[in-house]
Amino acid sequence: MIEVIDVHKSFGELQVLRGVNLSVEKGESMTVIGGSGSGKSVLLKHIIGLLFPDKGRVIVDGQSLNDLDEYGLNELRKKFGMLFQMAALFDSLTVWENVGFSLKQHTNLSDEEIRKIATEKLALVGLKDVEDKMPAELSGGMKKRVGLARAICMDAAIILYDEPTTGLDPIAADAINDLIVDLRKKLGVTSVTITHDMHSAYKISDRIAMLYKGEILEIGTPDQIRDTKNPIVHQFITGSAVGPITAE
């Protein structure tokens, strides 16, 4: 469903991705782990066409993102939902307007119908009676849930999660993990998550890929990653300060 082929990306002198290869099957939950500044967010932005590679290709459902024009790219993006690290809710819109934003832009549904669908999606992520609140009135965990409801509002086939548990307390973080697993079961979506939270990675993933210095260092099931022989991956997943990776 998603193929990342030999993707290179630099920003000025800084080379962030150095030939990333990654393949995600339909219905699979793939998690990319890696330290801060390893290029995880840059990789995720390539998958949805917010960034384009200097070299290499990203193919989604057989379509190469490099070859699409503005219209084609927007049509493809309708298959995606994305949960941002800080939720990225629109400050000036209420919760239901945020959730139903895509429906308002891309369908002829009335405001009443959009509100009804938004309420259903909010219920799916465990939120009630928040439709008329503004994003500033919500807690961090609630914002993430609203962001998730917005991501699934157009019945996306692929959901991208950018650090879904960052900034949340352990209980709220685990609730988000449960929600990701639950949504996948209910909706059968393909998902790509980037995180450095190993508890989350083990819980939500079919496969885990470790991104290090702009390349995929190792890829495998959660059990295979737990039993890795690679000292870099081992150091990262155990969270040890001693090893080949040095803190920046």
Partner 1 sequence: MASAVESRGFINNVLETVGRRTSSVFVEIGAVLIFLGQTLRWTVSPPFYWKSALKQMEMIGVDSVPVVLTTALSTGMVLALQSYTGFKRFGAETLIGTVVSLSMTRELGPVLTGLMVAGRAGASMAAELGTMRVTEQIDALSTLATNPMKYLVVPRFVASTVMMFFLTVLGMITGIAGGYFVGVKVLGTNPVTYIDNSINYTEVKDIWFGLIKALVFGAVVGLIGCYKGFNTEGGAEGVGKATTGAVVVSCMLILILDYFISALLW
Binding site for partner 1 (CB under 8 A): 45, 48-50, 70, 74-75, 77-78, 80-82, 84-86, 88-91, 101-102, 105-106, 150, 160
Could you give the CA distance from residue 122 to residue 142 in angstroms, rounded to a whole number?
A: 10
Complex with partner 1: residue 88 or 109, whichever CB lies closer: 88
Q: Taking CA 207 as the corner, what is the angle to CA 73 and CA 121, rounded to the nearest 5 degrees?
A: 55
Q: How far is the CB of 68 from partner 1 (least distance, A)?
A: 12
DSSP state of 90: -
Please say which residue, 88 or 232, places its beta carbon nearer to partner 1: 88
Rounded CA-CA distance 24/80 in Å is: 14
Task: Please tell me what DSSP assigns to residue 35.
Answer: -
Name the minimum Å distance from CB 147 to partner 1: 8
Least Cβ distance, residue 27 to partner 1 (angstroms): 21
Is residue 103 classed as helix, strand or coil in its secondary structure? Answer: helix
| Residue closer to partner 1, measured from CB, 103 or 201 | 103
Indicate the residue among 115 and 150 with the shorter CB distance to partner 1: 150
Rounded Cα distance between 206 and 183, Å, is 15
Give residues with Cβ within 8 angstroms of 159, minimum separation 6. 80, 81, 82, 83, 151, 152, 183, 189, 190, 191, 192
**Smallest separation, CB 240 to partner 1 (Å):** 31
Two tokens, residue 122: 């909010």
Least distance CB 74 / partner 1 (angstroms): 4
Closest CB to partner 1 among 88 and 217?
88
CA angle 202, 126, 33 (to 5 degrees): 25
**Contact predicate 193/30, CB 8 Å:** yes
Nearer to partner 1 by Cβ, of 105 and 224: the residue is 105
Q: Of all helices (H) and strands (E), which one includes residue 216?
A: strand 215-220
The distance of closest approach from Cβ of residue 60 to partner 1 in the complex, given in angstroms and rounded to an integer, is: 13
Number of H helices, E strands in the chain: 10, 10
Entry field: residues in the chain: 248
CB of 38 to partner 1, least distance (A): 19
Q: Which is nearer to partner 1, 143 or 184 (CB)?
A: 143
